[in-house]
Amino acid sequence: MFAGKKILITGGTGSLGRALTKKLLKEDVDTIRIYSRDELKQSQMQSEIQDDRLRFFIGDVRDKDRLSRAVEEVDIVIHTAALKQIATAEYNPFEAVKTNVYGSQNLIDCCLDNNVDIALAIGTDKAVSPLNTYGASKMLMERLFVSANYYKGKRKTKFLCVRYGNVLGSRGSLLPVMLSQIKNNEEITITDPSMTRFNISMNEALELILRTLKYGKGGEVFVPKLKAYRVKEMKEAIMELTNANNNEKRIPVRPGEKFHETLISKEELRNTFESDKDYIIFEKQNQNYDYNSIKEVKSTILTENYSSDLVPELTKNEIKAILKKENLI
């Protein structure tokens, strides 16, 4: 489906954007446009990934005119640009709204104006029953993308979303923070060892994105079926793999931080279907197809929140195997 296609990745210099670029360059794409505001990261990415099919655009999703130029003649847009740090968004809420909400609306308008085939937004578990500014702004981003399918008129653009938690090993997540503390012989900071988090690797995130682009019809939120881990098990797995003996330090729960993450709320279950690998949240209003009629997709059997404390938990040994398989340690 990518042969001869022009693809735009907003926020493309981030960890997901770089991994996605490498993945897509293995396909017979025409060009991949990287849109971001960080000049240094673009320069580093150009040095890291040298391919004639790459194009780099300096710009911010808040700048609709510049964004519109980047979207010209594009077939597929993947929207990863966002202010993602929870603490940053808490103390700069207006800035989070400008990027995560207004920036997303700008992108939707540009996709409609340029009659893009598919626009896919990267969501987060923080958007479900949001407790913080980041989660609330990403919830609005998700709603904007889903609702765009209802007011696009005769334009062909399909607007889709994926929703998952922190990618294992991504910047600012638990793993790199602990590895840095171990390397610098610092105390390992823990909020609560019983906290749980969904586990998804970068490869799993990429496969989810590709599945959504392939099978999405417009208006869905694709959520992967995942296991979870407890912070205590992750810490012990990391320390054993690195032969570390750092002391542990308990710290307060950060503003807006949850003890357990939720990917699908109970209220969403009436609109949720599932396949072998994913849950698919689909609101059927104003659409001319029926998910119940699609082969290998059925109404979900979930009866409670799809929450990190209610799914199968990874053991310490399973976590160690994953970390080694993904070359994260």
CA distance 164 to 226: 9
CB 182 within 8 A of CB 246: yes
CA distance 21 to 32: 7
CA distance readout (Å), 96 to 13, 62, 87, 132, 267: 19, 11, 11, 11, 26
Beta strand 272-274 pairing with 278-282: antiparallel
Q: Which amino acid is at 23?
A: K
State the helix-helix crossing angle for 15-24 and 202-215, rounded to 10 degrees. Answer: 60
CB 198 within 8 A of CB 308: yes
Match 């082969």 to its residue by tokens.
295
Burial per residue of 174-204, b for 16 or more beta-carbon CB atoms within 10 angstroms, e otherwise: bbeebbebbeeeeebebeeeebbbbbbbbeb
- Give the H or E element holding residue 22: helix 15-24
CA distance 326 to 169: 9
Q: Which residues are catalytic?
A: 126
